[in-house]
Amino acid sequence: MVRIYKAKDSERVSRAGYVANYVADLKFMRSLESCGVILVEISDIGKSSPHAHEHLEEVFIILSKMMIYINDTPYELDEGDVVIVQPGEEHSFETKNNQSGKIIALKFPNIKDDKVVKGKQNTS
């Protein structure tokens, strides 16, 4: 089941010389041996292709306002929000107002060719 952590609802703590927002305490389905870190840029055209992953969990750290669709359900995301998508959950992103968007994606474990598109399997 998708989990969304809203940055605006996070605990804000003052530290020596900086302020930290503790956005999420993540728990994964299994123990992990690797993690892929990907900077994703969505063009101002607006929407990424829907896909799922057969084996990996994916954590998205949102760097600009956008929508995520999980199994066709839309969720509005703001900068700093964190989303966890489990294997088999189809997801895609859509930017707003012809703006481009950025996301940091963390793949657990780091399986590079684990993308499943409807009607196809294991595409990159």
Model pLDDT, residue 119: 60
Q: Which two tokens stand for residue 36?
A: 């892929």
Model pLDDT, residue 19: 84
Q: Determine phi and psi for 123, rounding to 5 degrees.
A: -105, 160
The domains of the chain are located at 3-9+33-116
* Per-residue pLDDT tens over the stretch 90-111: 999 999 888 889 999 999 888 8
pLDDT band at 120 (very low <50, low <70, confident <90, very high): low
* Per-residue pLDDT tens over the stretch 3-46: 899 999 988 888 887 888 888 888 777 777 888 899 998 887 77
As to burial, measured by CB atoms within 10 angstroms (0-12 exposed, 13-18 middle, 19+ buried), residue 118 is exposed
CATH number of 3-9+33-116: 2.60.120.10
Under 8 Å between Cβ of 4 and 81:
yes
Model pLDDT, residue 102: 92
Strand partners, 42: 101
Model pLDDT, residue 21: 85
pTM of the predicted protein model: 0.81
pLDDT band at 61 (very low <50, low <70, confident <90, very high): very high
pLDDT band at 124 (very low <50, low <70, confident <90, very high): very low
